Amino acid sequence: MMNEFNEILEIWENQPNQNASKAGEVIKEAKRIKERIKRNHFWTKLILTITVMILITFFISVSVHNFNQSFTGAFIMVSVLLIRIFLEYLSWNKYRKLDDTRSLNMYTKQASSFYKWRKKIHILCTPLIFLLYVFGFILLMPFFKNGLSEGFYTYVKVSSIVIFIVLSVFILKQVKKELETLKFLEELFKDD
């Protein structure tokens, strides 16, 4: 009887540990996602900050500081970008507070809260911010029409349409990618 038990025990101990390999895969994937989220936050904040600095420099250099429609357009454009930068900093702070040393239940609650926050940003704030940015640019068009030659004004109109279309496609792809990542992580937490 003891021999059979020892044989069974040996078979049990020598079998491949599938749970450990699955856990290792999950941990590896989670680390990869964590790095991607960090990288995305960094680049988003950097690009938006540079854009704000360029806009402010441009509008100061062309004397848009007079209170008129062009100032309103410039103000809207800069303001919505600053709001987006602020939202990214809030997100980054929420993300940094995720404590993977806590119990799985606590970490899952923290992570779920973070993912719900990001969804709200992407579903509510991102489209509104983009539309307000385009609206601010449209308010600048009379300023461009008065200050630029007919040909260059046409170039600004056409190129801005192309840029806004390309930018909206890029934003949609990035939002879709992050929402897919968030969905994957939510599914991962649901299983636990």
In a domain, 174, yes or no: yes
Residue-number span of the structural domain to which 57 is assigned: 37-191
In a domain, 22, yes or no: no
In a domain, 182, yes or no: yes
**Number of domains the chain contains:** 1
Spatial distance between the Cα atoms of 26 and 70, rounded to a whole number of angstroms: 52
Q: How many residues does the chain have?
A: 192
In a domain, 45, yes or no: yes
Model pLDDT, residue 1: 47
Structure tokens at 171: 């934003």
In a domain, 156, yes or no: yes
Model pLDDT, residue 131: 94
Average pLDDT over residues 153-175: 90
Average pLDDT over residues 20-39: 68
Instruction: With beta carbons less than 8 A apart as the criterion, state whether 129 and 84 touch.
Output: yes
Average pLDDT, the chain: 78
In a domain, 133, yes or no: yes
Give per-residue pLDDT as tens, 33-85.
777 777 877 888 888 888 888 878 877 776 655 667 677 888 898 999 999 99
In a domain, 75, yes or no: yes
Structure tokens at 174: 């990035």
Model pLDDT, residue 162: 94
In a domain, 7, yes or no: no
Q: State the pLDDT confidence band at 154, using cuts at 50, 70 and 90.
A: very high
